[in-house]
Amino acid sequence: MNPVKAVTLRGVEAREVDVEVEMAGGLFSISIVGLPDASVRESKERVRAALRSVGVSLKGRIAVNLAPADLPKEGTLMDLPIAVGLALRSDRLPLSRPSLFMGELALDGKIRPVRGAVPAAILARKSGMPLYVPEGNATQVGLVSDVEAYVVDHLSSLLSHIKSGSDLPRVKPEKPGSDIPAADPDFGDIRGQSAAKRALEIAAAGHHNVLLVGAPGSGKTMLARALRGILPPLSDRELLETLTVRSTLGSDGPLDRQPPFRIVHHTASTVAVCGGGSALRPGEISLAHRGVLFLDEFTEFRRDLVEAMRQPLEDGAISVSRASGTVEYPSRVLLVLAANPCGCGWYGDPVETCKCSASELERYRRKFSGPMMDRVDLHISVPRLSPEELVGLSVAASEKSDSIRDRVCMARSAQRERWRRWGYGCNAEVPEKLLRKEMALSQEGKAVLIKMANRLNLSGRGMSRVLKVSRTVADLAGETEVSKVAVMEALSYRGENRS
């Protein structure tokens, strides 16, 4: 007899679960075993009412085993496969072939959408089994190609399909267009800050981490928000990765190719940012995967949270360990940090006077974690604009985000072509050993890098970051060789808070 298959989530991966049903005489009872959580244990009441509404009466002692028994099962997505298993066992009907089912049941038999539809569709594609999903999840499932998936809106129509072969609508393939929403704010709407805009263009082209330092009101937050508008559109693979993370939380969101942008408040907990918790959920660093993670007022964040982010930023993935096991979430983000130059915010300002003492300045600078700063490629100063610049009297018209994005896409295309053999898409992802071998650093560039590395006391990681940024600068210029000029520009972004 072909088994009824359910789905459970472990991180962003869907796991296959066999639903086994045994019925015996005696007083009525239903027990569900196989490490079910509270929502799965409660499903027996929803399932019984839904089956009764479609004319299936349950009798005797019933045991439902969710195998493998050592894999934790959670969520209401187990309702539908349990109901199908009970209905088929009650009528002694076989399933024509192994099939995956997911959905939450209402008491009247209607099927409600659940989280995890995208991982389930990926599992169905790998296994070659048909997938039955609620109507509310059909759009998400349609984004996964080559999947045999059917839409079910009521338990009665599904049971009729299984028993008599009545037709069910197929999930229609979905293909987001290549267009992305207009940038908001647009770089063209931001007065001045040409140096900061140039640095953010480099960050977008090579996916480099950024630190914005400037006085209150200098435009750090607006620049960070505008960065999203010059990032290249997500590829099919990147879009599926971001949708998979969102799907595990049951969040739909817009189905476009614009990279994610997540803002984290300094009061956020480590679990909220890095993921975890008793139910194991992805955090903000994973929800920003393939996009921008913005930490405003960086110096206000707790030190333990900052240190917890270091390794995920380096590896592009974060592992969360609990007694029930370890799960991994993706975290390939472009990190943007924003901070004031000192506690009062006016250090170095040409108009306002800094009120911080020397000891207060030193204490404030210690908040810039050395290991974290070593993972930031571009240190950008954002000066406060003069009144003339703010009203546009002394500033030329700024370049629009669309034209900047065109240059960024050309540079990113060159990077994909260069690193395609090794599976990397941008300079920031490339390991140091491969980078040194393939980056085509000129002799003049090498000489100036060695000279400045000694002067600035650059660490090994710092050297690697400079090489990656200089390679991106050369890509934006359309140059195959990394020149001395590109290296000098990359070195200019190192900043005083790093080695």
Tokens of 221: 């937050």
Checking if the pLDDT of 499 tops 50, the result is no
Taking each helix axis from N to C end, the angle separating 443-456 and 460-476, rounded to the nearest 10 degrees, works out to 140
List the CATH number of the domain containing 462: 1.10.8
Closest alpha carbon to 190 in 180, 200, 203, 205: 200
Half-sphere exposure of 232 (CA within 13 A, CB side): 25
Q: pLDDT band for position 446 (50/70/90)?
A: very high
3-state secondary structure of 17: strand
* Tokens linked to 265: 């408040």
126 and 196 co-located in one domain: no
First to last CA, the chain: 65
Residue 416, in any domain of the structure: no
Residue 421 lies in a domain: no
Number of folded domains that form the chain: 3
The torsion angles phi and psi of 199, rounded to 5 degrees, stand at -65, -40
Confidence of residue 389 (pLDDT cuts 50, 70, 90): low
- CB-CB contact of 440 with 431 (8 Å): no
pLDDT digits (tens, 9 = 90+) for 449-462: 999 988 888 888 88
Residue 93: inside a domain:
yes
| Lowest mean pLDDT, pick from 27-41, 120-134, 253-267 | 253-267
Note the pLDDT of residue 369.
83
Residues 172-208 as b/e (b if ≥16 CB within 10 A, e otherwise) read: eeeebeeebeebebbbbebbbbeebbbbbbbbbbbbb
> Domain end: 131, 164, 197, which one?
164
Residues 158, 193: one domain? no
At 392 the pLDDT is 63
- The boundaries of the domain holding residue 147 are 4-164
**Do 336 and 198 sit in the same domain of this protein?**
yes
Q: Indicate the residue among 130, 164, 198 that finishes a domain.
A: 164
Q: Is residue 304 domain-shared with residue 364, that is, in the same domain?
A: yes
Inside any domain, residue 329? yes
Does residue 228 sit in the same domain as residue 91?
A: no
Query: 435 and 471 share a domain?
Result: yes
- At residue 182, the pLDDT reads 73
d(CA 244, CA 120): 9
The mean per-residue pLDDT over the stretch 101-116 comes to 96
CB atoms within 10 A of CB 46: 18
| Rounded CA separation 131/116 (Å) | 13
* In a domain? residue 158: yes
- Give me the amino acid identity at 425: G
Q: What is the CATH number of the domain that holds 42?
A: 3.30.230.10
3-class DSSP state for residue 424?
Answer: coil
pLDDT range class, residue 385, cuts 50, 70, 90: confident
Residue 338: phi and psi, rounded to 5, are -130, 140
Tell whether 158 and 222 lie within a shared domain. Answer: no
Cis omega (within 30 of 0) for bond into 72: no
pLDDT score of 1? 63
Does 197 map to a domain? yes
- Residues 164-208: pLDDT tens digits? 888 999 999 988 877 777 777 899 888 888 899 999 999 999 999
* pTM of the predicted model as reported, rounded to 2 decimal places: 0.90
Q: Give yes or no for residue 386 having a pLDDT over 80.
A: no
Query: Residue 388 — pLDDT band, cuts 50, 70, 90?
Result: low
In 3D space, the residue among 57, 61, 67, 65 whose CA is nearest the CA of residue 16 turns out to be: 67
Residue 369 lies in a domain: yes
Q: What pLDDT was estimated at residue 395?
A: 54
pLDDT in the model for residue 461: 83
Higher-confidence position of 93 and 151: 151
**Residue 102 in contact with residue 236, Cβ under 8 Å?**
no
Domain stop point among 113, 130, 164 = 164
Domain co-membership, 9 together with 95: yes
How much is the pLDDT for 218? 87
Same domain as 198, residue 131? no
Strands 325-330 and 317-322: antiparallel
Is there a single domain that holds both residue 331 and residue 207? yes
Contacts of 240 by beta carbon, 8 Å cutoff, 6+ apart: 118, 122, 143, 144
Does residue 409 lie within any of the structural domains? no
What would the pLDDT profile of 361-384 be if each residue is shown by its tens digit?
Answer: 999 999 998 888 888 999 999 988
- My answer on whether 384 and 465 are in the same domain is no
Find the CATH number of the domain harbouring 340.
3.40.50.300
Same domain, 201 and 152: no
